Chains A and B, each alone.
Chain A
Amino acid sequence: MRLASLVRLISLLLLVAFIAMPQAFAFAFEPLVTPGAPAIYNQGSLFSLTLQHLRTVCLATIASTILAVSLGIFVTRPSGGEFLPLSRSLVNIGQTFPPIAVLAIAVPLVGFGEKPTFIALFLYGLLPIFENTLTGLTQVPTQAMEAARGMGMNTWQRLSQVELPLAFPVILAGIRLSVIISLGTATIGSTVAAKGLGEVIIAGLQSNNIAFVLQGGLVVALLAVLIHDGLGLIERAAARKLGRFVDEVS
């Protein structure tokens, strides 16, 4: 446990140090580049690109969460039950449609930049959150629901005080999965001129600079690992409170 915390801390410090002062790490990347080429990405600030990247992912995940959780709640109500198959197929299409294809379709409609990336990530992130919301809500013990009704909780009180808190760890696992997928997928957004860490990778590919590719990739990977881990901690704490243990979903 302590070792794990130590690894966490070191990765975090490493990440922050690298995006804040990348030049300090030049020595590590110099062996990878042809003499004379820059060892550290020099076409923009890594720090602001990282923030842009996180921003896109964050906004897309929030939007997916709002839609997927609402949809999950709706189809588990008695009145929404018949929409379950329809919602499921819609969300599945969002997942099976390759993000790159979404970009290709979205650019003519909304133009270049962050918007098409946002749309692609949003659609791609729906499925895990939706499915986990369904699982979480249908796993709520029937006795707890019966007791809630019997004590005079109305529909809204049952949802907000019993169903959602009990489903929370499972929903969070879905959000975590969605964030991780989005962090990686967001790099392709740079092909349509969205600001993000994809820029660093693409710049590396274009100028045949392996160091750039590696830097973009490493920052994305470290972000993913740290966020995955952090959300996992919250999830386990929430589940422990309920007396159950969720398996690592990865």
Chain B
Amino acid sequence: MIEIEHLTKRYGTNVVVDDVSFTVEEGTLTVIVGTSGAGKSTLLRMINRLVEPSAGRVFIDGEDTRAIPEDELRHRIGYVIQGYGLFPHRDVAANIATVPRLLGWERRKIAQRVDELLDLFQLDPAEFAHKFPHELSGGQQQRVGVARALAARPSLLLMDEPFGALDAVIRSKAQDDLLAIQRRLGTTIVLVTHDMNEAFHLGDRIAVMDQARLLQHATPAEMLMHPADDFVERLVGTAERPFRLLSLAKVQDAIEPGEAMGEPVAISDSLHDALSRLMWTGRDALPVADARGVILGKVSVGGILQHGRPLP
């Protein structure tokens, strides 16, 4: 758990981060979103003390970060930046091994960990371990960047626009991969982006910043239904709201008893996907199946639409 308390950064009279407080629960993904220059990156960099706060404190699992030596603190926190900053003179394996080597792990243990991570990120060790960063595609570099950050099994991962340099197709795949890996490892992640879609796609909680201040820290659904002010409402996108809500809800939430014709939708799909299928096939309802293909009921256009507006 990370507790951020009254964190403030001033450069002279210029306040970059103004009295920000929020808590990140263990194993969740929090997205800090806002326009450029809102202070998101500075806030993130104060967590691993790349930027020293002017005031306020950060606690990681109850421990004040100021009490931990800087380098030691950073060994314990994964860090991924836009452009990844892979070391051009080191091959993929050596890049991933950076922090374990700094920590003085045994050679065998390092090699084992590198292979494990390459597998986790779907990079064949035989092919990729000894490639140099300039021989990799953007998507592969991104994966190596995240693998390197996770090498010493940090419980916290900080990511600053980690998908910013990827094109749209690879980006959405990379986002899904990150979610899958996060679920699997249970790593706590704080991610900075300016892309609202990314925030809604990834975040268990979203923190909206503007002009150095934290405007709202809430779950995506709360933020859609009760935006804290006009700025958040604009950022969320008024016209997008019903669709974002449908993206957040699962078929499970709108399942009704009864039968329907057609190809079943999966119970774990989002309502957004289910509605899209209904519209495309021109049906009013479709059957719902679980992972094994057993039909559990149906989902209808009317039922789905009810989830696209705030509850009374």
**Residues on A close to B: CB < 8 A?**
141, 143-154, 157, 162, 165-166, 241-243
* Interface membership of B85, Cβ < 8 A: yes
* Interface membership of B170, Cβ < 8 A: no
* Interface membership of B89, Cβ < 8 A: yes
CB–CB B86/A144 < 8 A: yes
**Residues on B close to A: CB < 8 A?**
48, 50, 70-75, 79, 81-89, 98-99, 102, 132-135, 145, 148-149, 158
Q: Which of chain A's residues has its CB closest to B151's CB?
A: A151
8 of the cross-chain contacts (CB-CB < 8 Å) are A143-B83, A144-B88, A145-B85, A152-B71, A152-B99, A152-B102, A153-B102, A166-B88
CB–CB B88/A152 < 8 A: no
> CB within 8 A of A152: which of B74, B84, B132, B148?
B74
Q: Which of chain B's residues has its CB closest to A162's CB?
A: B87
A144–B132 Cα distance when bound, in Å, is 14
- Given A152-B74, A157-B102, A243-B135, A146–B81 Cβ distance below 8 Å? yes
A25–B72 Cα distance when bound, in Å, is 67
- Given A152-B102, A153-B102, A243-B134, A144–B70 Cβ distance below 8 Å? no
CB-defined contacts of A241 to chain B, threshold 8 Å: 89, 132
CB-defined contacts of B71 to chain A, threshold 8 Å: 152-154
CB–CB B81/A147 < 8 A: yes
CB–CB A150/B88 < 8 A: no
CB-defined contacts of A144 to chain B, threshold 8 Å: 85-88
CB–CB A151/B99 < 8 A: yes
- Given A150-B48, A151-B99, A153-B102, A242–B74 Cβ distance below 8 Å? no
CB–CB A151/B133 < 8 A: no
Considering residues B73, B82, B89, which has the most beta carbons from chain A within 10 angstroms of its beta carbon? B89
Please name 20 further chain A to chain B contacts, defined as beta carbons within 8 Å, in addition to the given A150-B50, A243-B134, sorted by A numbering.
A141-B88, A143-B85, A144-B86, A145-B85, A147-B81, A147-B86, A147-B87, A148-B85, A149-B74, A150-B48, A150-B74, A151-B99, A151-B148, A151-B149, A152-B71, A152-B102, A166-B87, A242-B134, A243-B132, A243-B135
